[in-house]
Amino acid sequence: MLLGVHESVAGGLELAFEHAAKHGGEALQIFTKNSNQWREPALERAAVDAFRAAHQAFGGRPIIAHGSYLVNLCSERPDVLERSRETLFSEMVRCDRLGVTSIAFHPGASVGMAHADALELIGEGLAGVLDRTRGMQTRLCIENTAGQGSCVGWSLDEIAGIIEKSGSGGERLGICLDTQHLFAAGYDLRTPTGYDQFFAEFDAKIGVARICAFHLNDSKKPLGQRVDRHDEIGVGEIGLYPFWRLVNDPRFDQVAGIVELPKEMAMSSLSRLAALRGAEEPRQKRIVHPLELVAPPVKAPTRRKR
């Protein structure tokens, strides 16, 4: 697996490669535009040329773009639904010009909408985007969600349903698997049996060949809590074993594995993941964080009233 982190593009998109090289990354993820705004700055030819040249100097290794957080392909508001579809289409155009291999995107949240109707709406939107982008090299990758609130796409059945409802263009859809979201959704990869059973189910329902990238994040919350809270690799509830399996799994050779954490935690997590490659199975399943070693303050006993 080719490891990296989400890199800043402050000062120019092409600078992300400089940051990745400094951090020892072999792959990277970026935002090609502000992820919390609909507005999309024009992509000048000079910026495209600079980005492609920097990518070539980086060895042409995988780049993942993270789609806008505003996109909701099953919004009950017609204006948001239309803007979401157009934004996803525009992101495909931008990334194809830049030579970005994959776009990870969240399907949406079905507020006030029946589950079946939400899947239909997402499939309809993706079918339109895929039809308009035929011939492009960039691949749209559904990112599995933690299932928090009304977010759609947390189960393998939901993801398979979205692909099916995307029509013939759905064959071009890829998957970006987020380990924390899987764990939050109730998929337990912490044992050899759990790991093997999950990927057997995934292959049967979706196909392992669709996996374009991983988001490698540990979890602050226990299994199946349906809460999106990332933690440092090996420190959280997931532990080291699943990450050791993933980075050594030959099926994911040359696939990007991206850490999505604040800078210091991201750097320590990246180093830990790199150390797991080619290593023996970790004896210590979970790393105790220094803060956990600090004894909690002793509370003074409360005096009963007479």
- Name the band, by pLDDT with cuts 50, 70 and 90, for residue 73: very high
pLDDT for res 180? 98
For the segment 212-225, what is each residue's pLDDT rounded down to a tens digit? 999 999 999 999 99
User: Which CATH code, of 3.90.930.12, 3.20.20.150, 3.40.50.150, 3.20.20.210, is assigned to 2-293?
Assistant: 3.20.20.150
> For 179-206, what is the mean pLDDT?
98
Residue 162 near residue 123 (C-beta atoms within 8 A): yes
pLDDT for res 114? 86
For the segment 234-267, what is each residue's pLDDT rounded down to a tens digit? 999 999 999 999 999 999 999 999 999 999 999 9
pLDDT for res 292? 52
pLDDT for res 112? 82
> For 17-27, what is the mean pLDDT?
97
CA distance 239 to 261: 16
- Name the band, by pLDDT with cuts 50, 70 and 90, for residue 298: low
pLDDT for res 137? 94
> For 105-115, what is the mean pLDDT?
91
- Name the band, by pLDDT with cuts 50, 70 and 90, for residue 92: very high
Average confidence score pLDDT of the chain: 93
263 Cβ contact partners less than 8 Å away, ≥ 6 residues apart? none
Q: What ranges do the domains of the chain cover?
A: 2-293
Give the pTM.
Answer: 0.92
291 pLDDT more than 70: no
pLDDT for res 293? 45
Residue-by-residue DSSP string for 173-193: -EEEEEHHHHHHTT---SSHH
Query: In the chain, pLDDT over 90 holds for what percent of residues?
Result: 88
294 pLDDT more than 80: no
295 pLDDT more than 50: no
Residue 7 near residue 20 (C-beta atoms within 8 A): yes
